[in-house]
Structure 1
Amino acid sequence: MDQRRMAFITCVNQEVLYQKSLKFINRLEVPEDIQIECIPIKNAPSLTKGYNKGMQQTQAKYKVYLHQDVSILHKGFIKDIVTLFQMHEEIGMLGVIGARTLPSDGVWWKTYHGAGKVYDNHSGKMGMINFQDDKKSIEHVACVDGLLMATQYDLPWQEKLFDGWHFYDISQCFDFQKAGYKVAVPYQHMPWCVHDCGIVNLDGYDHYRKIFLKNFLKTQ
């Protein structure tokens, strides 16, 4: 595993969106001791399969799994992610927004205990979603949203259970914690990312929610 390398892994089925995301990655400040690589996975049958394929294509210790419609605004993103991971070896995954406690129905955004912030237009209008506690430099969470998930350890994604486009992220967060790692959201002065997703297609969401509840919350 190359501790001086960070890979940005993205499942791509709309090249225009990915090229925009790539432009923002290419504008990030890259520390002298870090190399970056971008790995597009074209037309993956699911996010889990795509991310497992991307994971196998790189020796980078630090991996950033992000949606093709995400733009990273924070120029110091690479340095900050690497620094946080080096300071906190117990943290396996970082995200930009999530939930400190997961509701019993598995729908993270219904939480009363959110964390982080992001620019997002899932309602049809761009705006800031802000759950951040400004008093904390980093918040441990139950899960982060899959728009961006950065890791410093590798665990396989649950491609047999989640062979679509939902709950790949929450299940991965739970798998990291089951393996003994923490999941966290860092402090952001301003949102680090824009998630230009538009109104979200929730087809299949309830199907995978029930799979998640059966396999991950049965003993919670």
Structure 2
Amino acid sequence: MLSFVVCSVDAGKFAAFRRSLAACAGGDDVEVVGIHDARSLSAGWSAGLARAAGDVVVFCHDDIELLAPDLLLRATRHLERFDVVGVAGTDRCVGMDWSEAGIEHAWGAIVHDPGDAPVLCFYGAPGGVDAADGIQAMDGVFLATTRAVAHDVGFDATTFDGWHGYDADFTFRAHLAGYRLGVALDLPIAHRSAGSADETRLRYHLRFADKHAASLASGRGPWVDLRLPILVPDGVDAAFDRANLARLHARTRDEATRRREAAGQPYAAGRNAPCPCGSGLRYKECHGAAR
């Protein structure tokens, strides 16, 4: 059996997710463990794990649509190679946000579709394979693992008692424990939310940094925010085709190189201005630090 653990307080979203799952489950033995009163995602996922009957457990958001009819088969196949599988992440963890290390360490692709103009958000794709390995931290929109690994790693509902940091903490601790993490490139998912930041995000960012201070890498790299219009569902297969992903990969890496070179020029920006490399830091904190 395969178990999906989903925290949701929105009956409409939860019902839509179940319909999406049913469309790609076929005759597979699948259960949905809905947690509708979670105090936090860590607490909710812990409660869901305790109730899950499947040997394979998928933790995911309630506002996603699964865009491949055999997506569950693909996910379980990846678990023959990896201990935890996601759809976006980094091979260099420097903080709670997996994108912080820069685009050259980022992997995966996901469709963001709030309801009006869906876009393909691309991060990275190694050539000729259907998954990136060597991953250290991943996004919690979709995480597949085994029940044994999930129990062993667990969720820290004490430190991450809200809605941020739960995923980075779980996946980074899995990496530190020696488990193999992979970002799959053939699990197309539409996320019906673009995400949001609130005043509590910084609190959990600092908690993550404090908890993992001895293990985190340092320094940020250039970021390239590549978003392309996509037709859902008609354009999904073409978007996730390996040749297309390879083209997008080259595009982001070439742009990262260009931005790094531009930021490395003398007086590339005012000291308090954003660094031209796109890291999100001020110039004086990034490429202008030594000037």
Smaller-chain TM-score bracket: 0.7 to 0.9
- Give the superposed CA RMSD: 1.9
Q: 1:170 aligns with which of 168, 174, 185?
A: 168
TM-aligned CA distance change 1:195 to 1:61, over 3 Å: same
Give the equivalent residue in structure 1 for 2:109.
117
Deviations 1:181-212 (Å, cap 9, x if unpaired)? 01111222xx6101111451333111001000
Give the equivalent residue in structure 2 for 1:143.
137
| DSSP-derived class of the 2:215 partner | coil
The whole-number CA distance in structure 2 between the counterparts of 1:29 and 1:170 is 28
Deviation >6 Å, runs of 4+: none
2:50 partner letter: Q
Shift of residue 101, structure 1, vs aligned partner: 1.8
* 1:8-23 correspondence runs (5 A): 8-23=4-19
Does 1:94 pair with 2:88?
A: no
More off after superposition, 163-172 vs 109-118: 109-118
* 1:1-220 correspondence runs (5 A): 5-30=1-26, 34-86=28-80, 88=81, 91-102=82-93, 104-110=94-100, 111-112=102-103, 113-121=105-113, 126-133=118-125, 135=127, 136-140=129-133, 141-152=135-146, 153-154=149-150, 155-188=153-186, 192-220=188-216
- Looking at secondary structure, tell me which structure has more helix per residue: 2
- Looking at secondary structure, tell me which structure has more strand per residue: 1
Greater relative contact order (Cα 8 A, min sep 6): structure 1 or 2? 1
TM-score w.r.t. the length of structure 1 is 0.87
Structure 1: state its 5+ residue gaps: none
The whole-number CA distance in structure 1 between the counterparts of 2:23 and 2:89 is 26
The whole-number CA distance in structure 2 between the counterparts of 1:14 and 1:201 is 19
The whole-number CA distance in structure 2 between the counterparts of 1:121 and 1:109 is 20
| DSSP-derived class of the 1:203 partner | coil
**Is 1:132–1:187's contact at 8 Å kept on the other side of the alignment?**
no
Give the equivalent residue in structure 1 for 2:225.
none
Q: Size of the alignment, in residue pairs?
A: 207
**Is 2:96–2:165's contact at 8 Å kept on the other side of the alignment?**
no
The whole-number CA distance in structure 2 between the counterparts of 1:22 and 1:129 is 24
**Is 1:138–1:186's contact at 8 Å kept on the other side of the alignment?**
yes
TM-aligned CA distance change 1:76 to 1:132, over 3 Å: farther
| DSSP-derived class of the 2:14 partner | helix
The whole-number CA distance in structure 2 between the counterparts of 1:13 and 1:47 is 12
Deviations 1:73-99 (Å, cap 9, x if unpaired)? 12111111112212x1xx221001112
TM-aligned CA distance change 1:164 to 1:134, over 3 Å: same
Structure 2: state its 5+ residue gaps: 217-291
* Identity of matched residues, %: 18
The whole-number CA distance in structure 2 between the counterparts of 1:62 and 1:107 is 26
| DSSP-derived class of the 1:180 partner | coil
TM-aligned CA distance change 1:219 to 1:132, over 3 Å: closer
